[in-house]
Amino acid sequence: MKTDGKMSYKDFIFPVNPYVIHVSHQRNTTEHKIPFDNNIISDMGENARVITGEGEFFGTDCISDFERLKNVFHSKDGGMLYIPSQKPLYAVFDKLELIAQDTENVVKYTFRFIESFDKSKSDILEMCISDGVKCLWDYSYEYGIDIETLVKANPDILRPDIPINHGKAVKLC
Would you kindly state where each structural domain of the chain is located, as residue ranges? 1-121, 126-173
Given this model, what pLDDT does residue 138 score?
84
Among 3.40.720, 3.10.450, 3.10.350, 3.40.50, name the CATH number for the domain at 126-173: 3.10.350
According to DSSP H, which parts of 75-153 are helical?
119-122, 136-143, 147-153
pLDDT tens per residue, range 93-141: 999 999 876 678 899 999 999 998 764 444 455 777 788 888 898 888 7
Q: How far is CA 68 from CA 31, 83, 94, 137, 173, in A?
A: 44, 19, 16, 30, 31
> What predicted TM-score, i.e. pTM, was given to this entire model?
0.64
Q: How far apart are CA 120 and CA 30, in angstroms?
A: 29
- Residue 164's identity, in one-letter code, is I
Determine the average pLDDT of the residues in 4-15.
86
Mean pLDDT of all residues belonging to the chain: 84
CATH fold label, 1-121: Elongation Factor Tu (Ef-tu); domain 3 (2.40.30)
How far is 100 from 12, CA to CA, in rounded Å?
Answer: 21
